[in-house]
Chain A
Amino acid sequence: MSWDQDAAPSSPHEPGWLGYAAAVAGVAVVSLAIGVILSWARIANVSMLYLLVVLALGTRFGSGPAVMASLLAFFTFNWYFVGPVHTLTVADPDEWLALLLLLAASVVTGQLTAGQRRRADEAHRREQEAVQLYTVGRWLAGAPTLDAALQQVAEYLGRALALQGCAILLVDEEGRLQPRAVVGSEVGGERELPRWLLTADHAPTVAASPRRWVRVVPPARPGAAGAAAAGRFALPLRAGARVLGTLQVVAAPTRPPFSREELRLLEAAADQVALAVERVRLQAEANAAEVLRRTDELRAALLSSISHDLRTPLASIKAAAGSLRQRDVPWSDAERDAFAATIEAETDRLNRLVGNLLDLSRIEAGVLRPEKEWYPFSALVEDVLGRLGPLAADHPVAVDVPDTLPPVLLDYVEIDQVLSNLLENALKYTPPGTPIRVAARVADDALAVEVADAGPGIPPAALPRLFEKFYRVASGPDQPRGTGLGLAVAKGLVEAHGGRLTVESAPGQGTCFHFTLPLGAPPVLVPAEAS
């Protein structure tokens, strides 16, 4: 199999002779028309009508038919209408001049219109190519996995080029080609990387193949004439000097040779596939590096958090207990009470921290089993606000949780904690007097809950990591310091309920946490009458 690289673009729809036939027919029709017109009136430049035919032919069929029509027009007009008629001789020198002008005008018109036609064709082809490449590029960028993208590209090439088979093979860790996308038959079998792919200058070893194309000669199989006649080609996928794999193509023996445009499409597709493969590899490397960095960061954050958050209450407790044991200091009752109160308060703080740590480890170990029951959300909100009462004394809290909301299947303790963590956050990180709003409504199949404050908001840079454990928004020294656990725990608990916890915040605009809890059909109880 071979092809001519400079073959003229053959229009796939119409045979070449059609244009010439049209030229003959057109000239004949116009000559008849001229005959009719001349029998009515003597018009000086009636031969100009031929220009219409030439124009149409040039536009429709290109320069060949246009030139032929020009010559035909020249001779026909001479023969039938220029005296002496029915000869090619011309009596009047003026008529000669007119005829030559007709010929010149026709040829120039034909060439000009044919040029326009060529440029229009070229533009159309370029546009098609651009669309094809765009399609390939979009799949490569948009598919959920690389393999899905490769499969789509292989299928597309197979369809667009009417191939018998198309396969994309990538080099694995051992340097062998592994098929990642295979469409059609008789393809994807060559697993060895051809030697030429490994040479530095990758000079194709099959000299007859143009440019980067390499013809893979199929193993001679006696009696398998079809396979032997089919064209099998491989195109390297390369990123810089590295060969990432090959694009293999099998063309049926009956298929016409690839056109220049089709070759361009294949080569461009190979380039795009190579780029996409390289991008995925680089992304994976970057991800691995990021995970390592995060793990290190997390470990450091964990150590700093544990040492601070556990040691601080422990230090207070130890100091208070030690003070109480000092026999040589005559503590007053009030002082003893203060020490005891410190021990109790710090123990509670430690207990909350340990509780959050335990919740987090249960969430992360995936052993969280919400003990769910149907509960009216408004009652839960009342309970939480009642419990937080003293903390919320400095903040006006607006509650928009109608009693008419349907009950929700939830673990009371866990959702109580979600709501408490969100409210405590709002109370802790906004100045006294900042309004806080708790709202719930039904949205589709879920209860949508909002805890919003009109506080200073969260810096946009902090938002993506807000729900990470031990992540704390950087704050001034006089700002309250959290453990970096509350939001991570809240998110884990909401997700264990099949919901989602998200945040919206803008500096100066306040912060709004949203979470959802799926709704279902609660069991129905017939109201019992008092016995």
Chain B
Amino acid sequence: MQARGARILVVDDEPEILRALRTNLTAHGYEVLSATSGAEAQAAYAARRPDLILLDLGLPDMDGLALVERIRDHAATPIVVLSARGAERDKVRALDLGADDYLTKPFGMDELLARVRVALRHAAHPASGSAAVFRSGDLAVDLERRQVTVGGRQVRLTPTEYALLRAFITHPDKVLTRRMLLQEVWGPEYGTEAHYLHVYVASLRRKLEADPQRPRYLLTDPGVGYRFRTEPSD
């Protein structure tokens, strides 16, 4: 429970969901604030400055995306959005607007707690590439010498593959939309050429993953983007 005591604002207009989340998060040592509308959420945010916001995108009084935008205007407070299945476009927009992660309803409590932990960890230690060598499982990336090894064996990457991998490991465990990845690797003028991205992800998987069909590191978030999953180093 590394983030013991963190204050979480839960915004959802469904009382049953609020109750279940409050019970679980409190049981895991978090302090929980709740709001059932956008107005209440803004008031609670201003008064109590939560460490993380769990935000349902379907609010009765305002568009959840607008709330994401408003909060991002002046704070980097991590935001995890909750949305129904089928609303992939909303998820992607929320992420592009600066939300940190998303969960599709109905979600499992384990998954929710994992996402909350990751988001809080990112907020506490923003990944800055400070470490000279990034390690996860059998993968090691020497950021200074631009060397990649899997299980000690050196892997040759093309410059684009390396740039893509670096984008992933700069945001470990965070979902990255296709637009974010394209712009980070290719430049701000890109955003719709996602098929190239998929080709490079596929080739990275072939070079880094033991079984490219069942990847350990480079996971697909269907309809949203990709996520680099970290593992404890060997």
Q: Can you list 17 A-B contacts with CB-CB less than 8 angstroms, sorted by A residue number?
A: A355-B85, A371-B223, A375-B198, A376-B198, A379-B202, A382-B212, A382-B213, A383-B222, A413-B88, A416-B222, A525-B190, A525-B196, A528-B185, A528-B187, A529-B159, A530-B162, A530-B166
Whether B202 pairs with A378 at a CB distance below 8 angstroms is yes
Given contacts A379-B201, A383-B222, A522-B195, contact A389 B214 (CB under 8 A): yes
- Residues on A with beta carbons closer than 8 Å to the beta carbon of B86: 355, 358-359, 362, 413
- Residues on B with beta carbons closer than 8 Å to the beta carbon of A386: 213-215
- Residues on A with beta carbons closer than 8 Å to the beta carbon of B162: 530
Report the nearest B residue to A523, measured CB to CB. Answer: B193
**Residue A385 CB within 8 A of the other chain:** yes
CB < 8 Å: which of B106, B186, B214, B215 contacts A525?
A: B186
Report the nearest B residue to A355, measured CB to CB. Answer: B85
Contacts of B143-168 to chain A: CB distance below 8 A: 159-160, 162-163, 166
- Residues on B with beta carbons closer than 8 Å to the beta carbon of A383: 220, 222
**Residue B42 CB within 8 A of the other chain:** no
**Residue A373 CB within 8 A of the other chain:** yes
Whether B193 pairs with A413 at a CB distance below 8 angstroms is no
**Residue B7 CB within 8 A of the other chain:** no
**Taking beta carbons and an 8 Å cutoff, which residues of B are in contact with A?**
85-86, 88-89, 106, 108, 159-160, 162-163, 166, 178, 185-187, 190, 192-196, 198-199, 201-202, 212-215, 220, 222-223
- Residues on A with beta carbons closer than 8 Å to the beta carbon of B213: 382, 385-386, 389
How many A-B residue pairs have C-beta atoms within 8 angstroms? Tell me. 81
- Residues on B with beta carbons closer than 8 Å to the beta carbon of A373: 178, 192, 194-195
Given contacts A413-B223, A523-B193, A529-B159, contact A371 B88 (CB under 8 A): yes
**Residue A412 CB within 8 A of the other chain:** yes
CB < 8 Å: which of B106, B187, B195, B222 contacts A413?
A: B222
**Residue A351 CB within 8 A of the other chain:** yes
**Residue A344 CB within 8 A of the other chain:** yes
- Residues on A with beta carbons closer than 8 Å to the beta carbon of B159: 529-530
Contacts of A321-377 to chain B: CB distance below 8 A: 344, 347, 351, 355, 358-359, 362, 371, 373-376
Given contacts A373-B178, A412-B223, contact A528 B186 (CB under 8 A): yes
Chain B CB within 10 Å, residue with most, of A344, A374, A524: A374
Report the nearest B residue to A412, measured CB to CB. Answer: B223
- Residues on B with beta carbons closer than 8 Å to the beta carbon of A411: 223
**Residue A204 CB within 8 A of the other chain:** no
CB < 8 Å: which of B85, B89, B190, B215 contacts A371?
A: B89
CB < 8 Å: which of B193, B212, B220 contacts A374?
A: B193
CB < 8 Å: which of A382, A523, A524 contacts B202?
A: A382
- A407 CB to closest chain B CB (Å) equals 4
Q: Can you name 20 extra interface pairs (CB under 8 A) apart from A347-B106, A373-B194, A530-B160?
A: A344-B108, A351-B106, A355-B86, A359-B86, A371-B223, A373-B195, A374-B195, A376-B202, A378-B202, A389-B214, A403-B202, A407-B195, A407-B198, A411-B223, A416-B222, A522-B195, A529-B159, A529-B160, A530-B162, A530-B163
- Residues on A with beta carbons closer than 8 Å to the beta carbon of B220: 383
Report the nearest B residue to A382, measured CB to CB. Answer: B213
- B7 CB to closest chain A CB (Å) equals 28
Report the nearest B residue to A385, measured CB to CB. Answer: B213
Chain A CB within 10 Å, residue with most, of B106, B186, B198, B199: B198
**Residue A15 CB within 8 A of the other chain:** no
Q: Report the bound CA distance from A385 to B85 in whole Å.
A: 21
- Residues on A with beta carbons closer than 8 Å to the beta carbon of B185: 528, 530
CB < 8 Å: which of B85, B190, B199, B222 contacts A412?
A: B222
Contacts of A516-531 to chain B: CB distance below 8 A: 522-525, 527-531
Q: Report the bound CA distance from A383 to B202 in whole Å.
A: 10
Whether A528 pairs with B160 at a CB distance below 8 angstroms is yes
- Residues on A with beta carbons closer than 8 Å to the beta carbon of B215: 386
The 10 closest A-B pairs by CB, nearest first: A407-B195, A374-B195, A530-B159, A530-B163, A413-B223, A525-B193, A528-B186, A379-B198, A525-B196, A386-B213
- Residues on B with beta carbons closer than 8 Å to the beta carbon of A525: 186, 190, 193, 196
Q: Report the bound CA distance from A347 to B215 in whole Å.
A: 27
- Residues on B with beta carbons closer than 8 Å to the beta carbon of A524: 193
- B111 CB to closest chain A CB (Å) equals 11
Q: Report the bound CA distance from A373 to B193 in whole Å.
A: 8
Whether A375 pairs with B88 at a CB distance below 8 angstroms is no
Q: Report the bound CA distance from A358 to B105 in whole Å.
A: 14
Q: Report the bound CA distance from A412 to B220 in whole Å.
A: 11
Provide the A392-413 mask, 1 if CB < 8 A to any CB of B, else 0: 0000000000010001000111
Q: Report the bound CA distance from A374 to B195 in whole Å.
A: 5
Report the nearest B residue to A376, measured CB to CB. Answer: B198
- A102 CB to closest chain B CB (Å) equals 98
